[in-house]
Amino acid sequence: MGDQYITLIASLPPHMPKLFATRQTPISRLKLDERLQMLEPQHIHELALIENLVHWNRMAIDTSDLEMIKRGRAVEQQLQNAFIKEIVQWRLEERTIIAALRRRHLGITTPPSVTRWGYGRWLRYIEAHWMEPDFALNHIFPWLAEAAQLLQENNHLGLERLLLSLVWDHYGRVVGDHYFDFEAVVVYVLRWDVIDRWSRYNRQRAEQRFSNMLDTALGKYASLFA
């Protein structure tokens, strides 16, 4: 497996160190997919699983939380690679924290049932600290206060940039000493997706999506907690 993965990684143009330093992916999706055919069949399958779950459009803020939980658990059961499992868990936990902030932004003063909306280690803790501005988690997630402020201001662009940066930086950290292996390929592809998301960002469309998310969520949550 070693030589073909070295060849694959070496054939991929590097990403820029800073996410917002570019508005274009370093390689087209068509060419990227062609090169990914060098992966072993099991790795092609696992890469498809994680992409289908955490691709930015599929993790959009207006996607149903329950839908995301179901997807995540279904994917976890199929994954053999521990590295990818950890990425899935981190992304779903991050999504859960944002979901909690969003509910609070809508004025919901009672935490929802943990079986209905969230995922991961922090659910009970968030419930116990629901009315604290940062759920008493800012020492672990220092970006929480900024995210809450951006939501309060309805600053969709600022929130999008913050979340993209969080994901980009996390992928950069977890890749660690992986250079010419499957894990390095996974991080490359996931970072490609983040750049692609930013390069396609449409402010007007995002404003409408953000507004729709709030309107839809407000009606849905009002019925749940009436």
| 174-199 residue pLDDT tens | 999 899 999 999 999 999 999 998 88
Q: What is residue 190's predicted lDDT score, i.e. its pLDDT?
A: 96
Q: What is residue 212's predicted lDDT score, i.e. its pLDDT?
A: 57
User: 214 and 205 in contact (C-beta within 8 Å)?
Assistant: no
Q: What is residue 68's predicted lDDT score, i.e. its pLDDT?
A: 77
Asked whether residue 107 carries a pLDDT value surpassing 90, the answer given is no
What digits encode the pLDDT tens for the residues 27-47? 999 999 999 999 999 999 999
Cα distances (angstroms) measured from residue 31 to each of 99, 153, 189: 35, 40, 12
Token pair of 80, please?
């053999």
Q: What is residue 219's predicted lDDT score, i.e. its pLDDT?
A: 43
What digits encode the pLDDT tens for the residues 70-102? 888 889 889 989 999 999 999 989 988 988 898
Q: Tell me the whole-structure pTM to 2 decimals.
A: 0.85
Q: What is residue 60's predicted lDDT score, i.e. its pLDDT?
A: 57
Q: What is the mean pLDDT of residues 41-57?
A: 88
Q: What is residue 66's predicted lDDT score, i.e. its pLDDT?
A: 74
Mean predicted lDDT score pLDDT of the chain: 84
Judged on CB neighbours under 10 Å (0-12, 13-18, 19+), 65 is: buried
| Residues 178, 43: Cα–Cα separation, whole Å | 15
Q: What is residue 133's predicted lDDT score, i.e. its pLDDT?
A: 85
